[in-house]
Chains A and B, each alone.
Chain A
């Protein structure tokens, strides 16, 4: 079975400081992992994805995430927060079942607040 846990429902950081959004996953199979972002009244936008290639994945807008199998983590980071980063972020795990359609499992989301 697959599951994903976003450890913080809300994170607040000051503009210009680093961002860390935490995500832990559980998967019976080799997972693909994603981070999506949703700005108010917008659709979910793909930030980055991991699909068993390089463990450090670079995404859009300066975000990156590192797949750590030993820790079953896929935390999202950014060196310097910008006001436009304020949004809700979703960690997503996806596994390909050998005999069924693949499933995509969402975390509950983390709201990122940027303080001026």
Chain B
């Protein structure tokens, strides 16, 4: 069974540019989560999809971040326009239906905004 995959693995962009991160969850996992780790800080929750619906987006930092999961399969997280403080590692995780199911994480996308 393939794990959670994320693309790209690394991205370096300039302030003001747009970047789109992609996450492919494990097949059959209705739950999809985005997390972020800013350098030197803990990993923090961004949002949670159940299928194509946003269940909880309370962790999204501001309206420069837009997450989508059309069709309930893969998800994208767009940052537009990117700011310096958006640099960090963005993790995606997925789990089976149900609130207490174990989350399986992808390798993360390392984003550097210059």
Contact: A43 with B108, CB < 8 Å? yes
Contact: B107 with A43, CB < 8 Å? yes
- Choose among B55, B103, B105 the residue that contacts A101 (Cβ–Cβ < 8 A): B55
Contact: B103 with A104, CB < 8 Å? yes
Query: Could you say which of A19-27, A44-52, A67-75 contacts chain B?
Result: A44-52
Q: How far is the CA of A108 from the CA of B45 in the complex (A)?
A: 13
Q: Is the CB of B74 closer than 8 A to any CB of chain A?
A: no
Q: B33 contacts which chain A residues (CB < 8 A)?
A: 104
Nearest residue in B to A109 (C-beta to C-beta)? B42
Contact: B99 with A96, CB < 8 Å? yes
Q: Which of A25-46 contact B (CB under 8 A)?
A: 32, 34, 36, 41-46
Given A32-B100, A43-B106, 16 more A-B residue pairs with CB atoms under 8 Å apart are A34-B102, A42-B107, A43-B104, A46-B102, A46-B104, A96-B99, A96-B100, A100-B56, A101-B55, A101-B99, A102-B100, A104-B33, A104-B45, A104-B103, A106-B35, A108-B42
Contact: B43 with A106, CB < 8 Å? yes
- Give the shortest distance, in Å, between B15 (CB) and chain A (any CB): 26
